[in-house]
Chain A
Amino acid sequence: MTQSPTLSRRSASPSAPAPRKSKRSGADARAGYTFLLPWLLGFIALTVGPMVSSLYLSFTNYNLFEPPKWIGLDNYTTLFQDERFLQSVGVTTSYVVFGTPLKLAAALAIAMLLNSARKGQGFYRSAFYAPSLIGASVSIAIVWKAMFGDSGPVDQGLSFFGINLGGWVGNPDMTIPMMILLTVWQFGAPMVIFLAGLKQIPADLYEAASMDGAGPIRKFLNITWPMLSPVVFFNLLMETIHAFQIFNSAYIISNGEGGPAGSTLFYTLYLYLRGFSDFRMGYASAMAWLLLIVVGIITLVIFKTSKSWVHYSGDAK
């Protein structure tokens, strides 16, 4: 299933001797489920149960006050005629498609830059990581809105170079770039992970390549990229899934409306508005399940294609 490289390592650990296993295994089974109880309860009551009921609700009309009314696939067919829904798909897609690769490229480039340093690496690493910790907060959304507003510092700075865009916040063409910049600004978290991956690459590989006369580009393509590919895979998967779920900053920057002209109507924001403003909870559930299916398919595609480009080195330790 969703096996990550480290999971398989478990089987390699020295297991207990085979005799008197049966006696112990009964006690172990009881202990296992007892210890697992908190997670198991939460998993059933807060994840599986709600997932099943939201699937059911997605085939109904439900407004929280009257009992749900079965309407079959109506919610799903209505979705594809709902212009605001289609707009939210477009907004989210362009955000994910442009934002995630840009963020990862920045993270990788800067990780490689830092990896070349002897001194000060720790300082820069911390400084670059800081935005990842605060980037999704309401505070930063407010600051972003102020910075990209009319005659805010960004507008002022660009005008200095003769670029007069005005405020980005009020311009439907510029809100997505603004949101993308907000996510790229948080490149620190994947960068830290890239950096840890870069440090794992044995230096003698590069030394050997240098002996053979390989230049930096060939070294990157033949050593860095393949050796780093499991980390690229992890970051790509996590960042893509997260990008689909952006909510806080979009909500704050657009006052919870998704404006101007629906340009920040992200998928989750529209889902929230449908479910918790209009109380069309069946409709919102259909949106949630569609998101689940799409994210599931993308995860699957990333996993499947990873076989061709993710390289796991043979030695486990």
Chain B
Amino acid sequence: MTTMATPTKPVPDIEQAQYNPKSESVTAKRVKSGIFHAVALALTAVVLYPALWMIASSFKPNAEIGGANTSLWSENFSMDNFVTAMDGIGGVSTLTFFTNSLILAIGSVVGTILSASVSAYAFARIKFPGRSIFFGMMIATLLLPFHVVIIPQYIIFNQLGLVDTYVPLLIGKFLAGDAFFVFLMVQFMRNLPAELDEAARIDGAGHVRIFTAIMLPLMKPALISTSIFSFIWSWNDFLGPLLYLNTPDKYPLPLALRLFVDQTQSSDYGAMIAMSVLALLPVLVFFLVFQRYIVEGVSTQGLKG
């Protein structure tokens, strides 16, 4: 562990031929650790500043947000901005936007879990002709700029009379549209021992039983990270709702937020930022609760790409 540390730190003397980390004194280690934490904490402050600024501003009166006021603290913290923000916009309460976002996010999670796990099982555990070709195509869709499909998709949904409904936003999730999650689950299943299926097959189990009774329970970690990420992605999605939703009472939060910005035109900065905070609140809560899962998910599954 200590030796791993050496190439990354700003060690002053590169030419030091007899460098031996084990000979470091205890004080030298303490100094190094002190420097590390000083640098890392400073970085943390910079990285988190925009988020802290957002939260602090949401409690400040309008006059203190702009102008010569960079400090995060204020004497005049109040909930006024949130009260205004909760009123909503265009006669629709913010609670409605919140509910809409929630419906879309939960629909996305359910659809993705169902469709991606089933499809991933086919890729990972069943041998059938064409599998590797389809798998290659699935990987290719990971790299596909989605703009190449949005125009025809819009035309189709428009002809079917499905514009201004949630169908165009959710149908893709029920058809394993987020290839990333299929890929993630395929990788996860491939690392489960093959003997499990073999044994079950000898006992006469078919694919349906192997999938539901053996794979699904073992896949819990992959299912959890899929749920978390598909929830957050849906929650933050903007382009989809922007394309398909026209009536404000169907808007999810990001779209409502844009409407809010358009209509108030920065006259009420405080309320705008308060609403931004409200829109991010579930994501922030998710992050605080599941941060281990989220970060581990990125580091292990991202790597497997």
A-B pairs under 8 A by CB, number: 334
A19 within 8 A of B: no
Cα distance, A108 to B3, chains bound together (Å):
18
Enumerate chain A residues within 8 angstroms of B154, measured Cβ to Cβ.
Answer: 276
Residues in B with CB closer than 8 Å to A272 are 239
Q: Which of A43, A116, A129, A149 touches B5 (beta carbons < 8 Å)? A: A116
Q: How large is the interface on A (under 10, 10 to 19, 20 to 34, 35 or more residues)?
A: 35 or more
Do residues B3 and A203 form an inter-chain contact, with CB atoms below 8 A?
A: yes
Which single residue of chain B is at the shortest CB-CB distance from A207?
A: B3
Chain A residues near B135 (CB, 8 Å)? 7
User: A49 with B47: in contact, given A133-B287, A213-B17, A215-B14 (CB under 8 Å)?
Assistant: no
Closest partner residue, chain A, to B284 (CB atom): A134
Q: How far, in Å, is B242 (CB) from chain A's closest CB?
A: 8
Q: Is B161's beta carbon under 8 Å from chain A?
A: no
CA distance A118 to B243 in the complex (A): 48
Partner of B144, one of A28, A116, A189, A292: A292
B257 and A139 contacting across the interface, CB-CB below 8 Å: yes
Cα A271 to Cα B151 in complex, Å, equals: 10
Contact A134–B280 (Cβ < 8 Å): yes
Tell me, in angstroms, the Cα distance from A219 to B6 when the chains sit together: 9
- Does B67 touch A at the CB level, under 8 Å? yes
B291 on the interface (CB 8 Å rule)? yes
Q: How far is the CA of A46 from the CA of B148 in the complex (A)?
A: 11
Contact B303–A193 (Cβ < 8 Å): yes
Q: Are B243 and A192 in contact (CB under 8 A)?
A: no
Known interface pairs A39-B115, A252-B261. Does A50 touch B127 (Cβ–Cβ under 8 Å)? no
Contacts of A32 in B (CB 8 A): 122, 126-128, 131
User: Which residues of B lie under 8 Å from residue A197 when comparing CB positions?
Assistant: 303
Within 8 A of A (CB), among B118-158: 118-119, 121-123, 126-129, 131, 134-141, 143-156, 158
Known A32-B126, A50-B156, A134-B280; contact A112-B8, beta-carbon cutoff 8 A: yes
CB distance from A262 to the nearest CB of B (A): 19
Q: Would you call B51 an interface residue if the criterion is a C-beta within 8 Å of the partner chain's C-beta atoms?
A: yes
- Judge whether A41 and B305 touch: CB under 8 Å: no
Are A193 and B299 neighbours in the complex by a CB distance under 8 Å? yes
**Known contacts A33-B128, A41-B175; is A216 also within 8 Å of B14 by CB?**
yes
Is B68's CB under 8 angstroms from A156's CB? yes
A153 engages B122 (CB within 8 Å): no
| A14 partner residues in chain B, CB cutoff 8 A | 194
Binds A, one of B76-84, B218-226, B270-278: B270-278
**A301 at interface (Cβ–Cβ under 8 A)?**
no
Complex contact A113–B126 (CB within 8 A): no
Interface residue stretch chosen among B34-42, B87-95, B102-110: B34-42
Binding site for B on A (CB under 8 A): 1-2, 4, 6-7, 9-10, 13-14, 16, 25, 28-29, 31-43, 45-47, 49-51, 53-54, 57, 64, 110, 112-120, 124-131, 133-134, 136-140, 142-144, 146-147, 149-153, 156-157, 185, 188-189, 192-193, 195-198, 201, 203, 206-207, 210, 213, 215-217, 219-220, 223-224, 231, 234, 237-238, 241, 244-245, 247-248, 251-252, 255, 268, 271-272, 275-276, 281, 284-285, 287-289, 291-292, 295, 299
B123 contact from A16, A36, A151, Cβ within 8 A: A36
A103–B75 alpha-carbon span in the complex (Å): 37
- Report the bound CA distance from A215 to B8 in whole Å: 11
B interface vs A, CB < 8 Å?
A: 1, 3-9, 11, 14-21, 33, 36-37, 39-40, 43-44, 47-48, 50-51, 53-54, 57, 65-70, 114-116, 118-119, 121-123, 126-129, 131, 134-141, 143-156, 158, 171-172, 174-177, 182, 187, 190, 194, 198, 206-207, 211, 232, 236, 238-239, 242-243, 253-254, 257-258, 261-262, 269, 272-273, 276-277, 279-280, 283-284, 287, 291, 294-295, 298-300, 302-305
A47 to chain B, nearest CB (A): 6
Flag if A143 contacts B190 (CB, 8 Å): no
Q: Which residues of A contact B140 (CB under 8 A)?
A: 1-2
| Residue contact A38 to B176, C-beta cutoff 8 Å | yes
Residue ID in chain B nearest A13 by CB atoms:
B194
Give A43 to B176 CA distance when docked, in angstroms: 8
Write the nearest CB–CB distance from B133 to chain A, whole angstroms: 9
Report 16 cross-chain contacts, Cβ distance below 8 Å, ordered by A residue.
A4-B305, A39-B119, A39-B122, A43-B141, A57-B151, A115-B4, A120-B40, A127-B47, A128-B47, A150-B66, A207-B3, A213-B19, A215-B15, A216-B6, A216-B9, A276-B154
Q: Closest 5 interchain pairs by CB? A: A42-B175, A32-B128, A35-B122, A139-B276, A39-B119
**Min CB gap A282→B, angstroms:** 9
CA distance A216 to B19 in the complex (A): 10
Chain A residues with Cβ under 8 A from B119's Cβ?
35-40
Write out the residue numbers on chain A whose beta carbons fall within 8 Å of the beta carbon of B4: 115-116, 198, 201, 203, 206
**Which residues on the B side are within 8 Å of A201 (C-beta)?**
4
Interface pair B8/A45, CB less than 8 Å apart: no
Shortest distance in angstroms between A244's beta carbon and chain B's nearest beta carbon? 7
Contact in complex: B279, A138 (CB < 8 Å): yes
Residues in chain A near residue B143, CB distance under 8 A: 2, 237, 241, 295, 299
Are A153 and B53 in contact (CB-based, < 8 A)?
Answer: yes
* In contact, A54 and B148 (Cβ under 8 angstroms): yes
A284 touches B151 (CB 8 A): yes
